[in-house]
Every structure is written in C-alpha cells, then in structure tokens.
Structure 1
Amino acid sequence: MAWSVKLMLILVLFVLLPANLCVNQASFYGNSFISIPLKEAKGSTDIHFKFRTHLSNALIILVAGVTDYCIVRLDNTRLKININLGSGEYEVSSSSSKLNDFKWHKVHISRAEANLTLIVDNKFTTKHLPGKFFELNIHYGLFVGGHGNFSDLFFGHIGNFRGCLADIVYNGIGVLDFARHRQPQSIVQGITWNCAAEFDAHVNQPISFVEDKSFFVISQENFKNLKWQLELKTIAEYSIVMYNQGSLSKQDYFSMEIWKGKFKVTLKFGEKVTEVLNNEFIADGKWHKIFVQFLSSSVDVIVDSITKSIKMTKTHVVSLHDLFYIGGIEASKRGRAMAKGLKQSDIHFKGCMQHLKIGERMIGLKDAVITEGLLPSCVWQYPCLTWPCKNKEASCIQKGLDSYQCICKNLTCVSTDVSTSSKGTSAVDLEILTVKTLEVVEGQSGLITPNNLHLNLDYPKYGIADSGIVFHIFQFPEHGTIKINVWPEEKGSFTFHDLSKDKVHYVHDGSEHHMDSIVMDLQFNSKENFILPAHLQGNFKFTLTVHVQPKNDPPELNIPVSVTLRVAQLVR
C-alpha cells in the first residue's frame, strides 16, 4: 500500500475517534506529572491524546531510554516532536500554530520504522527519519506533563504542562486510566481527574485557597514603584499572603503576611530588616481591602483606608526574583525562605482573595505558572461568626469550608457534643465530583456507575480508600427505588467500592414520569494514621438526575365485571 494511502487511513481513523469523556481527563497545574514504568523496544509508535492550555511552551509527553527518547512538547505555540532512535535527534513540527488558545486540540503521532506522521486537528505533517536504527528503546519510563524527579538525562529546560489532557493512549496503554488506578510503580503528582474550571476563570473571579498547602505562582518582571492591591477574607490569624525570595545570591526577600490577625509587610536588604505592621484586625471572616506601595523612600500599607507608613532612611535597590508566591510557598522553596528569615514559611493562607493587582496589571488564575489547592469563586463561609449554637455556653468551631460544630465543655451544657452544619457545599461546585445523568428505560432498572458519579479528586493521596467514600441518600427518588446489593443490606448509603462493583441500581416504577432525581451527600473517611484535610471534612451535597426513556406500552383494556362488551363478528 502506498505511503499516501496509509496517511489517509490514519487520518480517517483519527477523525472517527470517540468524543472525550470526563472520566478520561486530567488537569495538570504546572507542577504536576504522571510517571509510568515502561521498558520496550519497538519499531513502531502510536500516540493519541487531546490537550487544551494557555501555555506557549510545555512538556506534554516524554519516553526515555539510555540513548533513545521521544519528546512531545509545545514550543512557541506549535506542537513539536523530538525523537532519537540512536542515530541522533530529529524534529517534526505541526503546521498548526497558536495551539495555546485553550481549545481542545486532537493529536495523533504514528511511526512505522523511519516514517513519522504528526496529525494535529486533522492537519498532518510527515517526515522520513534518516539513519539505520528504527527501534525506539525505552528504559526509564513514560512521563506526562513533566518529568518529576527524573534527572538521569537532560533534555533542556522545558516547563511543566499546565492545562488539561485527555484520552492519552501510548502504544495501546490507556495512560490516565493506568495512573488513576495506581498500577504498580506508577506515580501521580498533583493531578485531578477532570478539566478544572480554574484554567478558564475570569480575572475578576475570587480565588479560594482550600487546601492545607494552597498557593499559586505568578511571574512579574517590572519592579519599579511596586504596588500591590488585593482584597482578602479569612479567619486565619497567621499565614503567608505573598512571598518573593529575592536574588538567589543575596539574603534579600519581600513578604506580605497575616501576623496575629494583622497585615504585615517585611523587606529584607542584606542584614537590614524593615517591618510594617498595620494594626487593623483582618482575620474576622470579612472582606478587607489591602494596598501596599513600595517606593525607594517609603513603604505604605493601607488596610481599609487606615494607613501605616514607614520612611526608608536609605535608598535601597530592590533585588527581587521574577516569581511571586501567593498564599504560600511550594515545599522545595520553604527551606530557603526560612533560612532567609521568614519565620512562618510553612503556614499557607486559607480563605478567599480577589481583585489582585500588581502595578496596573490585574492578576487572575489564567496568569498563574503553578497552582495548587485553588478554586475559582469564594467557597469559604464562616457560620460561627453569627453564633449559630443554641446553647450560649457552647463553643463554635469551624468545620471544613462552610460547616460548624458546637461543643459543650462544662456540665451545665445540655449536650457534650452538639453537631450541626450549614446548608452544605455542593460537591460539584467544589469540583470534587462530576455528575452524569443516569439513563433508564421506563419500568426497568439502571446501574449507577463511577461514570455517573465521577470523582475528580485524586483521593488516594489523602489516605482515602474506595470504601472510605460514602454516599448517603438524603432524598430518595419519587418515581423509583434504589437497590443496593450488599450484605448486610443497606438502604440509605453505599460506598464508592459498592459503586465500582456494580452493586447500586435505580429501579423505575413503570410510571409515565420521564424525569426523576436522587439527592445525596458525599462523605470521606481516611485510613488510620491519615488526617483528613479540613476542606474534605463534612458532607458535600449533590443531585443525580435520572432520565427515563419512554417505552411504547401495549394498550390495556379494563372492563368492569358488570359491563358487557359487544364486538362485531370477525373484528380483530
């Protein structure tokens, strides 16, 4: 068969690939990666995937051997393949450019010995690889989104991927499914199993810092007359708001913190440390406007129109790094920050920020280089501020993002442990769960599967097993029943393990109602020796919609016993 005909067949098969499902997506946040052990030597290569990103340059896929390798990356908004089969590196670039528009782009890479084909959005590029070696010998494994701690070979400074990847298949291996189920020796770092909303968030949307180690990183290169503006809401009395590590060769740094519930700015130049503490209390769960201006002669810190200013006795040249950490510092940088004098380098911000501005530049999640533990919109609520406990002697404690617990400590209290929660955060809004409508034929049953209740959360890293994910039925369906095939019999709850084992069914009652719904909440229980993080505590509500497909039932004739039905002879 002619090579051009083969190309056409590849193109047709590529077009007919099934549409992407949410269950086969993953979000990469700039410091995320997947590593899968792989050893093979093949004369052919077949790679499929889809991606969407705002980045112009990023590593997408790497397979590496002792000398051989194949790199798939974005380079100046084009997709490029760098491949070495043992005779030197060769490069193939896509004809399509500007692939950083955050639209889904389909990619198919096919190699048959020396013939390499790259198809991006149905546009193909071909190359005949010179040399006498045609096997790709892989020893170190397959890496997606970044190479993690792999450093045996150096492939240049290629940044990690930030965005969404879907339907990744490498030589018949379903990469995301393999990694999600933690197949032997696979490593998953900083992944969620969806296409996160934060990548498309508007610059004016609030940002929620929900995890214990939440933060994001932005790049800013112009430091003249540095001005910061932001609004924040929190009840945390200690946390990092912003940190810049300064020049790597000096001990300088610049930080903004919440210290004893007040806003503090610290500047360190050599051995001299300048601190500005505004005495307005801001850890009260309300929005506060912050303005910080750093000039050569003074530092101004304004909180809700209250100004604290310190004059600089000497003109200093600001020597800052181009990366700013917002809300916390990633683990690899905390040691250096502490060595430079930042005392609370491991205390991350929890709460909401909005209207972030450096100079005249508005900053949003789209501008981030790295993010971890964030959500677009403000999901934090502080019910204890309104004192919801009925007993005045009880203590109100914040639980999770929007719930509370009333605890009585003395004998005059009615109850020793009165638990109450607010209306409950939506599991869908928090991107913990993606819910897909259940399709059922009228009068029949339908299996509820992980495709219907898809967990975006990479829960194994929190010490949560499938049996520790519990669904409680809060409101049963009106036109059917829920059948849970477990022993002992359960009527009102089931686990993700039950769901995975096909033990949960919806049974329709045969009525003519074609829509139904099941209101549930989701609860996590961690294994022994694991502490469940605050943002996963409590119950998370959601609704599973049931669509009933109507069936053309044969007519039924009900005639009372006292009535005689007369039918003409020979009528059918």
Structure 2
Amino acid sequence: MFQTFKGNNNSEDVVREDLQHAIVARYIRFIPLYWSQKGRIGVRFELYGCSYWADVISFDGHSIISYRFRSKKMKTLRDVISLKFKTTTRDGVLLYGEGQQGDYILLELRRATMELSINLGSSQDNMIQGHTSVTSGSLLDDGHWHSVVVERYRRNINFTLDHHTHQFRTNGDFEHLDLDYELTFGGLSESAKMGFGGKENFVGCMEGITYNGDNITSLVRRKKVDTSSFVRVPTFSCTFHVQCLPH
C-alpha cells in the first residue's frame, strides 16, 4: 500500500493526516519525496494506532482442531482456505483432509518450506495419477507471521504465500474434491497418521483460519466445533522464545 501525504513547510506547523481505511502491518516506511528550497530534506512524525485483537491459537504438537462437516461427505468444485501462522520449527502439518475415494488435501511445512499436496482422483484408464504437489517459500521457521491462501476452482489452483502466488492445474481427470467427515488443522488425526507415517504435528501459532467462508478460529473460541477428537484443546495464546545469536 502506497499513499502520499502533504506535510508542513516549516519547523513549527503540525499537519495531521488520517488514513481512509484501517491497515494491519508489520512495518511502516516513510520516504521524504521533496527537497526544501534550501536544498535540505527531512521528516519528523508521530504515528498513532488503535488496539487490534486477533484470536491466536497456540499448538504444542499434541493439540489439533477438528472441523466436522455438516454432512458426512463434502464434494466441492470450489474451495478457499486461508490462515496465518508463525513457528520456529521446520516441519509440521497445518491442514489435512481426506476421502474414502482417495482424494486428499495436505498443507505442511517441510524443511521450513510450505508444501501443498492435493489429489482430486484419476480414472483407471488414465496413466497420470491425480497427486499434485507444489512448494513455496523458504526459512518459514523464522518466528514471524506468514499468510497462506489456497483458492481452487475445479483443477485450477492459486497457492499464495505472503502475497506470492503460484498458479497451477492438478493432475488427473476429476474436478471435485471429495472429503469425508472433517478437516484437521495443526496435525493429523490418529486414523490419518497410519497412512502418513512420520508426519509431525504443527508447533507454533495460527490465526485467521477460514474454510469456505467459515471462520474456524472464531468457532473454536465459541466452542462451536466438535472437541471430542481433540488430543488436547488448543489454547488462545502464543508465546515462544526466539534465540538471537551474536554477530
């Protein structure tokens, strides 16, 4: 976001500028654009903000969120999934869902990169399997917030990590994602771990988790999700220490 503000032309006057829309940012940068008639340039400012509250869930490697579907099976042509996360661990499952017909979606950290794997299925006559996997980013275990958005329409997918988008088409023949019972956030259910040996649960923090218009984070806070499959109920806090090494 870029915006130009007109400041004062002396050292006494105060100029106030209000943003038209609220923004949430990690950094804000001010760049002086014009020099004075005396050939000098400078800037002095004060920045005022307002309180910002977000539901942040802490995952310790044991707790997962189980989002149960309203019906036993979910068959979709279009999906939109978004979340923000921060962690200091290199590996961990952020999202997983599967169907009895072999369809699945998996979002995970692998060696501090983000990997999206999806399978919409394939017919027996097609030699090309439906599995598709795409990676993005690096050094995502830096303890800073990162955002992920997965937008799917049929076989076309936009996979966005920190505003960098990968566009691709899935392999296979089919266009629906058939999932059964639930999506899990923060790790795999006990039944899913049998088919994915060695997958680690996520350790870190998440906020702003949404799936097809449902605010999962808000549902967890309001206890509107089924907690019977929780290994340990997630807590609404996010504190961990990042070790700083001397230069």
Q: TM-score, normalised by structure 1?
A: 0.31
Q: Report matched runs for 1:398-477 at 5 Å.
A: none
Is 1:61 paired with 2:103?
Answer: no
Tell me the number of residue pairs that the alignment of Structure 1 and Structure 2 aligns: 185
Aligned to 1:72: 107
Match of 2:178 among 118, 130, 137: 137
- Please report the RMSD computed on the Cα atoms of aligned residues, expressed in angstroms: 2.3
Alpha-carbon contact 2:117-2:131 (below 8 Å) kept: yes
Aligned to 2:224: 183
Question: Are the aligned partners of 1:26 and 1:165 in contact in 2 as well (CA < 8 Å)?
Answer: yes
Match of 2:61 among 24, 30, 36: 30
1:91 aligned partner: 133
State the Cα distance separating 1:202 from its structure 2 match: 5.5
What are the within-5 Å matches in structure 2 for residues 167-316 of structure 1? 167-183=208-224, 185-186=226-227, 187-188=229-230, 189-195=232-238, 197=239, 199-200=240-241
Q: Secondary structure at the match of 1:140?
A: strand
CA contact (8 A) 2:118 2:170 kept: no
In the alignment, residue 131 of structure 2 is paired with which amino acid? Answer: E
The answer to whether the 8 Å contact 1:23/1:193 transfers is no
Shift of 1:184: 5.1
Give the distance between the partners of 1:79 and 1:201, measured in 2 at CA: 20
Shift of 1:134: 0.7
**Secondary structure class of the residue paired with 1:150:** helix
Name the counterpart of 1:445: none
User: Shift in Å at residue 19 of structure 1?
Assistant: 3.8
| 1:71-108 deviation per Cα after TM superposition (whole angstroms, max 9, x unaligned) | 000011111111011122110111x2111101000111
CA contact 1:36–1:179 (8 Å) conserved in 2:
no
Q: Among 144, 149, 160, which residue is 1:108 paired with?
A: 149
State the one-letter code of the partner of 1:65: G
Counterpart for residue 33 of structure 2: none
- Residue 24 of structure 1: how far off its partner (Å): 1.9
Query: What's the offset of the Cα at 1:47?
Result: 0.8
Q: Is the 8 A contact 1:29 1:190 kept in 2?
A: no
**In 2, are the aligned partners of 1:50 and 1:106 still within 8 Å (CA)?**
yes
Alpha-carbon separation, structure 1, partners of 2:90 and 2:22: 26
> Structure 1 or 2: larger strand share?
1
Q: Contact conserved, 1:23 with 1:194, CA < 8 A, in 2?
A: no
1:147 offset after TM fit, Å? 1.8
Q: For residues 17 and 106 of structure 1, do their structure 2 counterparts lie closer, same or farther at Cα, with a shift above 3 Å needed?
A: farther
CA distance in structure 1 between the aligned counterparts of 2:22 and 2:110, rounded to whole angstroms: 26
Q: Deviations over 1:455-490 (max 9, x none)?
A: xxxxxxxxxxxxxxxxxxxxxxxxxxxxxxxxxxxx
CA deviations 1:318-377 (Å, max 9, x no partner) are xxxxxxxxxxxxxxxxxxxxxxxxxxxxxxxxxxxxxxxxxxxxxxxxxxxxxxxxxxxx
Partner of 1:154: 195
CA contact (8 A) 2:92 2:200 kept: yes
SS of match in other structure, 1:191: coil
1:153, CA displacement in angstroms?
5.8
Q: Which amino acid aligns with 2:66?
A: S
Q: Which residue of 2 aligns with 1:443?
A: none
- From the superposition, tell whether residues 42 and 29 of structure 1 become closer, same or farther in structure 2 (CA, over 3 Å): same
Question: For 1:147, what is the secondary structure of its paired residue?
Answer: coil
Q: List runs of 5+ in structure 1 lacking aligned partners.
A: 1-15, 204-572
| Counterpart secondary structure, 2:171 | coil
Aligned-pair distance for 1:17?
10
Q: Check whether the contact 2:193–2:199 (CA below 8 A) recurs between aligned residues.
A: no
* Residue identity matched to 1:76: R
Q: Quick one: distance in 1 between partners of 2:184 and 2:111?
A: 21
CA distance in 1, matches of 2:61, 2:121: 31
Q: TM-score, normalised by structure 2?
A: 0.68
Cα distance in structure 2, aligned partners of 1:183 and 1:110 = 25
Q: CA deviation at 1:152?
A: 7.8
Give the corresponding residue for 1:81. Answer: 116
Higher relative contact order (CA 8 A, sep 6+): 2
Contact 2:143 2:242 in 1 (8 A): no
1:40–1:17 distance in 2 versus 1, CA, 3 Å? farther
Deviations 1:436-469 (A, max 9, x none): xxxxxxxxxxxxxxxxxxxxxxxxxxxxxxxxxx
Q: State the 1:177 CA deviation.
A: 1.5
Distance 2:54 2:163 in 1: 24
Deviation at 1:149, TM superposition (A): 2.6
1:524-563 alignment runs, 5 A limit: none
